[in-house]
Amino acid sequence: DAGVIQSPRHEVTEMGQEVTLRCKPISGHNSLFWYRQTMMRGLELLIYFNNNVPIDDSGMPEDRFSAKMPNASFSTLKIQPSEPRDSAVYFCASSLSAAQETQYFGPGTRLLVL
**Helix, strand or coil for residue 38?**
strand
Beta-strand runs (E) in 1-114:
5-7, 10-13, 19-24, 31-38, 42-50, 53-56, 65-71, 74-79, 88-95, 104-105, 109-113
Q: Which stretch binds other proteins (CB under 8 A): 10-18, 63-71, 78-86, 89-97?
A: 89-97
4 versus 113: smaller Cβ distance to other proteins: 4
Residue 61, phi then psi, degrees to nearest 5: -60, -40
Binding-site member from 10, 12, 17, 43 for other proteins (CB under 8 A): 43
Give the whole-angstrom CA distance, residue 85 versus residue 82. 8
Least Cβ distance, residue 107 to other proteins (angstroms)? 5
Of 15-23, 67-75, 80-88, 94-102: span binding other proteins (CB under 8 A): 94-102
Q: Within 13 Å, how many C-alpha atoms sit on residue 60's CB side?
A: 19
* Binds other proteins (CB under 8 A): choice among 26, 95, 109, 113: 95
Q: How far apart are CA 61 and CA 45, in angstroms?
A: 10
7 sits near other proteins (criterion: CB under 8 A): no
The stretch near other proteins (CB under 8 A) out of 17-25, 41-49, 62-70, 75-83 is 41-49
| Residues of the shown chain interacting with other proteins in the complex, contacts defined by CB under 8 A | 31, 33, 42-43, 45, 48, 50, 55-56, 91, 95, 97-108
